[in-house]
Amino acid sequence: MQTLKKYLHRYFIDAMGAMALGLFASLLIGTIFGTVGKYTGLEFLNTIANYAKAATGMAIGVAIAYKLQCDPLVIFSAAAVGAMSNAMGAVISQSGGIVKWAATANVGEGNIFYSAGPAGAFFAVIIACEIGRLVSKKTKVDILVTPVVTLLVGFAASWLLCPIVAFVMYYLGVFIATATTFQPLLMGIVVSVVVGVILTLPISSAAICAMIFSESAYAAAVLNGTEEGFLLAGGAAVAGCCAQMVGFAVVSFRENKWGGIVSQGLGTSMLQMGNIVKKPVIWLAPTLAAAITGPVSTMIFKLKCTGVAAGMGTCGLVGPIGVIDATEMGVFEWVGLVLVCVVLPAILAFLFNELFRKLGWIKTGDMKLES
């Protein structure tokens, strides 16, 4: 059991957290540069954005390999594995079958190329790194053996797994987009709560949203005529993340003052995970707030988002920036953005929390963060 916990922590906390950092340093920061460039007309920002986004797979590969404490040759080889697996996937027909295995571009009319993206890179890079570690510094020609083995294993893992990952992510995206199109109220609640909870857990909501709300997923939604639901689900994800971050920042103000507002409201609600383990009820107020702000986003203001920004919330204001980029913004939408991302989470979480304090469920000090 201890061995299982060790590997689960290594891959789904350490490696996934590292993947999120790789995404942040490439795709996410590129999205921010691109959005600022779009609204300011500064062309050099768009150039930076294009190169940053193009380096997504390489950044993921290096980040995961570094976190797994690989030797330098494995780390550098992982950049190529990440680029390869991020780009590889499958060509899927309108009927939902795989037309071409391990593809890197579309073939045939009416089909869609669906890359495995960050999800494929995650699995392929881990496998390549672990095998690369086994041979690293074991021979006198390490400078040749380690890169060759790492790259060959990375290609084999990509060829085998990326089409499967792409196929699974395709149907997950189709389900979310279709369900949100026909049931925006219910899916607004579900997506907002689930993604918000994932944000606070010690796993990466940004990485998961980058997989679910990818460019390939959006292209599939367009092909199926459910792009509206797809983008609304992304908006609900932002709402849920903001509810957790702003909610915890506000309800823990007694204990953490302004430092807590900044560290949780603009940083991450994951800081409360230790306190949640000790007293899970403190998680209830932000989660209930998310259950309300999600459908408010999908049903009333129709805020939209896609990509990694959907899983970032108010962290560096990335979530709101993603909404601005994906939504046709008017006065009504701007009001909705402020309400859904800041005002409603703060008010709702505060009211729920005060109720729970009066009931004696929560006491002062329960949400105190370590200095």
Structure tokens belonging to residue 188: 């607004």
Rounded to an integer, what distance in angstroms lies between the CA atom of residue 8 and that of residue 302? 37
Mean pLDDT of all residues in 285-303: 96
Judge whether residue 177 has pLDDT over 70: yes
Residue pLDDT, tens place only, 180-231: 999 999 999 999 999 999 988 877 788 788 888 888 888 888 888 899 999 9
- Residue 298 is predicted with a pLDDT of 96
336/7: higher pLDDT: 336
Question: Which DSSP helix (H) or strand (E) runs through 44?
Answer: helix 43-54
What is the band of 12 on the pLDDT scale with cuts at 50, 70, 90? Answer: confident
User: Which of 249, 215, 40 lies closest to 118, judged by CA?
Assistant: 215
Residue pLDDT, tens place only, 30-53: 878 888 888 889 999 999 999 999
* CA-based R_g, the chain, Å: 21
User: Is this model's pTM higher than 0.85 or not?
Assistant: no
- Residue 137 is predicted with a pLDDT of 92
Rounded to an integer, what distance in angstroms lies between the CA atom of residue 269 and that of residue 254? 16
220-223: Cβ within 8 A, 24+ apart: 220/92, 220/112, 220/114, 220/170, 220/173, 220/174, 220/177, 221/173, 221/174, 221/177, 223/94, 223/112
DSSP 370: P
Q: Which residues of 271-297 are buried (b: 16+ CB within 10 A; e: fewer)?
A: bbeebbeeeeebbbbbbbbbbbbbbbb
Partner residues linked to 98 by β-bridges: 92
- Residue 371 is predicted with a pLDDT of 60
Q: What percent of the chain has pLDDT over 70?
A: 100
Structure tokens belonging to residue 50: 């294009």
Judge whether residue 4 has pLDDT over 90: no
Residue 101's SS3 state is strand
- Residue 369 is predicted with a pLDDT of 85
CA distances (Å), origin 212, targets 24, 121, 249: 16, 14, 27
12/62: higher pLDDT: 62
What is the band of 360 on the pLDDT scale with cuts at 50, 70, 90? Answer: very high
- With beta carbons less than 8 A apart as the criterion, state whether 234 and 326 touch: yes
23 CB-side CA count, 13 A: 28
Question: Which DSSP helix (H) or strand (E) runs through 285?
Answer: helix 284-295
Amino acid at 335: V
* Of the candidate ranges 78-92, 102-116, 329-343, 348-362, the one whose mean pLDDT is the lowest: 102-116
Judge whether residue 8 has pLDDT over 80: yes
